[in-house]
Chains A and B, each alone.
Chain A
Amino acid sequence: MSDVSGRKRPRPRARVVIDPDNAYAQLGVSPLSSTEDIKALLNDRRASAIARRRSRGQQQFGAEEAEMARLQKLEAEIGTPRARVAYDREHPQNELLTVQRGPGDRRLEPRHALGVVTAWLQDELGSTVALPSPDSLPLWAPGGISPELAGALAPFEADAPDEGGRTGVGIAPGAGPTLQGEELGKLSGK
């Protein structure tokens, strides 16, 4: 193994800079914009170029055609989620040099907030009630749990064994239903 002790982090005089020709700058959007917004902007620009071309009449290749070709190139680079992932991976500086919100801040968006409402109700009311949630039992078993299935699952409820190893021999999780102080009363006949 090489000996790197004594070598310092490189600190060249030239600093990193944003490429003024990057796809986002060319389109005039933030690298943090959503792909839907970018797509919508591309469509608007394209529609406007087509309109200008129509009003100009069928002449030779002009600025509008060049604009459309440019838009097409931008679309190929950042116009779809897949292309954008590849572009951003190749050009990380656009995003890295943009001051941005944290990934957790999305939790404040209304779409997420509505999801929290359903999750809260599910916590409070249990997942067996009907709610617009993919966890809701009525969606998984619209007809309810059949008596046969309930019977088969009964041994595995609460203090049923869980997997104890690769052999599949079940060993009790925790202590089954844990003993509670109130049981003392019942057991002692109090």
Chain B
Amino acid sequence: MNPAHVNWQAALAALGSAAPGTGTPRELVAEVLALAARGSGDYADAAGWLAGAVKLEPLNPLHRMRVVLHHLRFGAHAEALSVLERLPASVRELPLPGYLKALAELRGGEARRAANIAGSVLSLHAGHSLARFLEAEAQLISQPKRIEKAFSSLPREPSLASLWADLLVKALVSRPAELLRSVEQQLEVRKVLPKGSPEEALVRRALAWSSAPLESFEAELEALPPGSRAEELALLVFNQRAATVDKDGSRLKLLRGLHAHAPERKAVRRLYVAALTGRAVEEAAAERYPAALRLVEACLRMEPHEPLHRQNRAALFTLMGDAEAYHDAWEDLERHHYRLALLGQLTPASALAMARPHRMFARQARLTPEAAGGAPLRLGVFRPSDAKAGEEPGLEVNQQRLDTDPEQLRQWLHHRRAELTFEHLALGPEPERFLLGPEDPRMALARLEGLALGAESLAVLVDGEGRLLADMLTGSWRELAKDLRTRYTREGAGPEVQALRARHLESFADLALLCRAWEPDAARPDLVEELLEFLRAEAPFFDEATFAPVLADHESPPSWTVKVLQAYVRHTFAQPERELRLSEAQRRELSEGLAAEVLLNLAVKRFEAAATQEQLEQVLEGVDRARKANPQSLRVEFWAARIALRGDYLEEAKAALSRFHALSHGTENPYQRHVEELQNHLAERQKAAGKGARRAGGQGTRAGAPAERRAEELEAEIERLPTSVQLYEELAHALAASGHFDAALEWSERAIARCLSRQGQLRARALNLELLGLRALWGPAPTAVQLYLSGSRGGALDAMKGVPGQDAPYPLDYVRGMCLLAARQPEAAQASFGQALARCERHLHLAVLRPLAQCVEEALLEQLRRAVEDALQGGAHADALREVAQTLPELKQPEACLLELVRIQLSEAASTLGSEGATAPLPALGVVAPWAARLRDAAALPTPLARARRLAELAAELHAPSGRDAQVMLRKLELLEQKAKSAAALAESGRLLRQGKLEAALAALDAAGEGAEGEAAILWQRALLSLRLERFAEADHAVARLEHSREGAAREWLLRYPELAFRQRLSVINRLLRQDDRDAAAELIASTRAPGREQELELAYCRAFCLALKAYKHRSEGERKEAVAALTEALDVVEPLLTAARAAGMTRLAELQSRLDQDLAALQEEAR
């Protein structure tokens, strides 16, 4: 048998499992796995199969040798050597490991070491022929003069012919001039190869290439098929020979001639281009750039698809200093990259390659290198600051340069964004990874939008293709991120992810410095907009947890701007010492604050340049934007007052000053003295002009407006779903988290007005009450508010310990009660609710407080429901059970939470569907009730489905309010049970299939029951098994039913089916024809439809073949006329398709036509 002809995928599917009961011996399975690896072109698949073989037979050293061979097949020499090093000493002494080590060293370029190792193997195993030949090959490279001696010492045996052929051809390829004679001598005199053997013929072919005149080498080439290995080798010999005689460019001339003679041969063109590029490298090294450019242009004409030529051209224009051509050439390279990406050539490796030019531009625009000799160029966005003695040199914004060459800033912005875009692509398609481990879907969504925004730079950098690529990437990212789920733990990220996080941090830090220190040109507000766009794209990736590893990295010290940012964040959030950990609201506050800074910087510059009232109004609009971004900024209000005063907008100035005072709380600040001056000035102007002017475009100073984008998104969602109380809760909490209580309360009141269902009304009122309580808490204990809103209500209780309870507003009692409830202190919680009820001043809050003051049971249950829901979303069944077990003993009516147990069991059943079904029984639940024994019985049942059913029945019986939900869950249970049945039937069918019992496998599907008849997986299995059993009508019927399926996989299967069915039908047709069962074959041919052009050709071939057989049959029976008719019909089938067959490379059809033609002629001759 020939392993090359084995269908390893199928063999693995049938034999590659050592599951007990399959009957396949373990050694056999291991051999199949190992040899399948040899036939695989996929590194990871093959590695997995070999690991399986090693696991099955850990003591068989041959599998480890195969692992070495596997690494060598894919060029992983170091890994191969590493496996060999780890072998036990007793195994290493065997000849094969030694030989493989020598082979690995040789392929890794260590010829001398390989020769030594092969020598060592031979010292222990003198008869090891492979090692002997390998030693000679290594000597051919490392000590070529000794090769002739090595030839004479090698054994001559027919069994070694292939090794001799290998060595002799290698001698010819490596040193064609010196060793030609010697090789001839081995053939003619020593007769190392058997006369007439294939090996001898091959060596003679190589000899012919080595001795043919170079000027007429095209004659040799003509005999070789284009694209073949023989052509590649012949050209290598030619190249080697041409290089040795190269004088004054004669090699280039020879190659040009060869290419002119055979322009269609890709291998010749590659060789010629390689020679031209080599010459261009030499010319460039000698600083003859125009000459190098001419050569590179020639390469580009021949290989316009090759990015390297474009890169070389761009490098040359850069070195030549041609400004316009330099920009055009790099844009051309990037355009080419983008085109390749649009054509699908976008792998992690190619993405990294595409990121490189962008990184170069971004890096140089950021901080240009010092010129030779140390004179500073200072052409970048930043420049080194003048450090005083003993101080660390830092960076500062290069204001002068940005004023004279603002395009430098744009270069940094857009190339940095493009670089980051490609670096994300290089992380692969896994959303968890390319979004750098977002904590929850909300963060993932924000990052996704950030990525999409960043990709917009591609459209700026490369007109046309950049737009298309940005759209394509954004679409694919959004598609991939659909499956992202909430994570409750942050897994350790790989080094690539960490590195990209650090790059984002650096970008954000650079942006922060620019926002704070750059004074934008008043005439270029567009630059600020581009900067803000980058800031918006980067903000979702700002992760302060990255500070620590970046600052601790001694190998690549952190950028100065990162250190500045860290200090700024600590100062802003008053966290001077402990580890930085910002809430989502704080992160947003940070980026919005930075946006406000740069907007205000622009406004100040425009203010300085403003000459008309209209211009001043525009400046004030800029200040409005800054205020919207950061409503807490003293600086914004100071400048707002100053600008408004100059424009005579006295009311606005007054309002700004009043906000300034409200924000400063009378504390000392750098604006105080100027504000007092403004105040006096305003008073004087008011005396003279009253209220002053009003802006023509209307005033845009609504203080306290929600600045956060998330809030805006939620507002938009509320517009769509105005009765969703959950959205109001989320929005109000987001606003409260950033201190906007007035706005939050406004929204809660809107919720009261709009959410009119009983449940909605209660939740809206509770929200209103809660916000009032939180606002009261904000002054004395802001941390408690943040903790409460982040979900840590138990933690908030600790933070509000110092807040007095007596005389506190009643909403604060409500908030305290909620915290006590979370801390599992129901009695204290109830007391707190009672106190709130006693002091309640608003009628609408009574409906919330009254039931809580009477009994906290419902509140506890609600809290439990949310905790269970959160845990189940993350698949944490044990956590959900723990929550129930903790809450159950605290309830007076524990039967009310039986439904939660059902919910958990259903979720567990769904997640274990298709496995054995049994899971660990429920833990002990401390319930004291008459039905406790029944609960124990239910909990002890073996499968989650059985437990869920019993618990749902119990809930319906014991707790009337749960009855409706219990019925719904019972219906869900039925569906799940059906799915479990289907999964079991499929598993059984698969098991029988592996044993080759096709009929039984098909019958096993019936066990899924009638309810599963429409299930896509069952139908698909049924269709495939029917195909295998050659029951084509049944297969078609099953597939027809798939068309009604709504399951996602069904569509994919429907697409694949015609091709699969055709293959199976064709296989059967071939067999029938070989068995000379023409009628059955003809019938099957007639009912077969070809799904594509190639298949149509195959089918036509079979049809003609069948007709030809029929014709021969007639002839043998003396029925010449019928025979002629059948042959003519066969030719009629074939002839119209000959052109298509030729185009598809199917020569058999033409051969068949020729044969049939001859036979028809002979038949007609006979007839005459």
Contacts and interface: CB of A to CB of B under 8 A. Distances in A.
B566 interface: no
B1087 interface: no
A184 B162 contact: no
Nearest to B1070: A175
A163 B359 contact: no
Nearest to B530: A7
Contacts of A128: 2-3
A76 B922 CA distance: 57
Contacts of A142: 62, 96
A55 interface: no
Contacts of A15: 318, 321, 323, 326
A114 interface: yes
Contacts of A134: 69-70, 72-73, 103
A90 to B, nearest CB: 7
Interface residues of A, number: 108
A145 interface: yes
Contact of B163 (A110, A114, A130): A130
Interface string A136-170: 01011110011011101111111111111101111
Contacts of A171: 1024, 1027-1028, 1060, 1063-1064
Given A10-B410, A14-B405, A97-B318, A1 B452 contact: yes
B6 A160 contact: yes
A21 to B, nearest CB: 7
B445 interface: no
Interface in B1-18: 1-11, 13-15
A172 B103 contact: no
A56 interface: no
B169 interface: yes
9 contacts: A14-B365, A16-B360, A99-B284, A110-B240, A123-B228, A126-B4, A140-B69, A174-B1066, A181-B1148
B555 to A, nearest CB: 8
Contacts of A72: none
Contacts of B863: none
B453 interface: yes
A125 B199 contact: yes
Nearest to B34: A140
A11 B530 CA distance: 15
Contacts of A51: none
A96 B357 contact: yes
Given A99-B296, A169-B1028, A113 B174 contact: yes
B153 interface: no
Interface stretch (B180-188, B308-316, B874-882): B308-316
A152 B11 CA distance: 9
A4 B134 contact: no
B11 A99 contact: no
Contact of A2 (B96, B368, B453): B453
A138 to B, nearest CB: 8
Given A124-B202, A181-B1148, A99 B315 contact: yes
Interface string B425-459: 00000000000000000000000000011001101
Interface stretch (A39-47, A59-67, A100-108): A100-108
Given A11-B327, A17-B369, A114 B13 contact: no
Contacts of A164: 1024, 1027-1028, 1060
A165 B1053 contact: yes
Contacts of A126: 2, 4
Interface stretch (B275-283, B723-731, B750-758, B808-816): B275-283
A102 B274 contact: yes
A48 to B, nearest CB: 24
Contact of A170 (B240, B326, B1028, B1101): B1028
Given A125-B199, A179-B1102, A149 B281 contact: no
Contacts of B141: 110-111, 114
B612 interface: no
Contact of B411 (A2, A10, A86, A140): A10
Interface in B201-232: 202, 228-230, 232
A179 B368 contact: no
Interface string B357-399: 1011101110011111000010110000000000000000000
A149 B32 CA distance: 8
Contacts of A99: 280-281, 284-285, 292, 296, 312, 315-316
User: Max chain B CB contacts within 10 Å: which of A22, A108, A150?
Assistant: A108
Interface in B103-141: 103, 106-107, 109, 129-130, 133-134, 137, 141
Shortest beta-carbon contacts, A-B, top 6: A188-B1112, A172-B1067, A19-B369, A169-B1024, A10-B410, A134-B72
A156 B10 contact: yes
B462 interface: yes
A167 B65 CA distance: 32
B997 to A, nearest CB: 12
A114 B168 CA distance: 11
Given A13-B407, A167-B990, A171-B1024, A140 B460 contact: no
Interface string B305-339: 01011011011101101010011000100000000
B672 to A, nearest CB: 39
A117 B173 contact: yes
Contacts of A152: 11, 15, 24, 28, 32
A28 interface: no
Contacts of B15: 152
Contacts of B413: 10
A29 interface: no
Contacts of A148: 25, 28
Given A176-B1071, A179-B1101, 7 more contacts: A15-B323, A93-B363, A96-B356, A116-B232, A117-B170, A153-B11, A157-B1
Nearest to B316: A99
A121 interface: yes
B1108 interface: yes
Contacts of B69: 134, 139-140
A171 B998 CA distance: 12
B1116 interface: yes
A117 B173 CA distance: 8
B990 A116 contact: no
Contact of B6 (A104, A113, A146, A153): A153
B1025 A14 contact: no
B347 to A, nearest CB: 14
B1044 interface: no
A119 interface: yes
Contacts of B162: 121, 125, 129-131
Contacts of B831: none
B274 A167 contact: no
Contacts of A22: 369
B32 A105 contact: no
B342 interface: no
B414 interface: yes
Given A113-B174, A175-B1098, A92 B356 contact: yes
A120 to B, nearest CB: 4
Contacts of B2: 126, 128, 157
A150 B38 contact: no
A120 B10 contact: no
Contacts of B306: 102
A177 B1070 contact: yes
Contact of B229 (A4, A21, A116, A158): A116
Contacts of B1025: 169
B1070 A176 contact: yes
Nearest to B74: A134
A121 B233 CA distance: 11
B1151 interface: yes
Contact of A149 (B28, B73, B311): B28
Given A1-B452, A156-B7, A176-B1070, A8 B280 contact: no
Nearest to A105: B274
B32 A181 contact: no
B137 A16 contact: no
